Amino acid sequence: MISRLNLMLFPDVLAVCRLDPHVAVPPWAFGGPFTSITRTLTELSIVCLQEGVPEGVRCERGWRYLAVEGPLAFALTGILASLTGALALAGVSVFAISTFDTDYLLVRDADAERALELLSREGHRVVKYGVDSKE
């Protein structure tokens, strides 16, 4: 089980979009520093910068993302559990995305500061991109 993680909160506001599973990935999905695209039999799910998503697209807007410092070994266990437990108890909704190198935890923009506080209390080191970091 992971006890302490280093996380970075990014300032970008994201949208989580749902499209028909058979449509092509739209060009607006590729703008910005963060894009996640997942196609299943039932949906095309796109997470991208909110500002690029056209009106009328089915989506949930207003998400911020925390990156877990990686790369993380595939054998590690309990990473998401160590992040989501305290947030769930406090009623903070999360949307998790994993990549080859690391995990990302999305929280509502309105809950971002509270999430940082809760995660810090759990022993995780959380910095804000460009504020607390040297980026």
For residue 15, the cross-strand partners are: 48, 61
Residue 1 class from Cβ within 10 Å (0-12 exposed, 13-18 middle, 19+ buried)? Answer: exposed
What pLDDT is recorded for position 135?
A: 57
Q: Is residue 93 part of a domain?
A: yes
Q: How many domains does the chain have?
A: 1
For residue 135, being part of any structural domain is answered with: no
pLDDT tens across 30-55, in order?
Answer: 989 999 999 999 999 999 999 999 99
Please check whether residue 134 lies inside any domain of the structure.
no
**Rounded CA separation 118/63 (Å):** 17
Whether the ω angle into residue 71 lies within 30 degrees of 0, i.e. cis, is yes
Quick check: is 70 in a domain?
Answer: yes
In this prediction, residue 130 carries a pLDDT of 79
In a domain, 108, yes or no: yes
On whether residue 33 sits in a domain, the answer given is: yes
Which pLDDT belongs to residue 73?
86
CATH classification at residue 56: 3.30.2130.10
The pLDDT tens digits of the residues spanning 56-114 come to 999 999 999 999 999 898 888 889 999 999 999 999 999 999 999 999 999 999 999 99
How does the average pLDDT of the chain come out, rounded?
94
Please report whether residue 10 resides in a domain.
yes
Q: Which residue segment(s) compose the domain that 21 sits in? A: 6-128
- 1 pLDDT band, cuts 50/70/90, is low
pLDDT at residue number 77 = 87
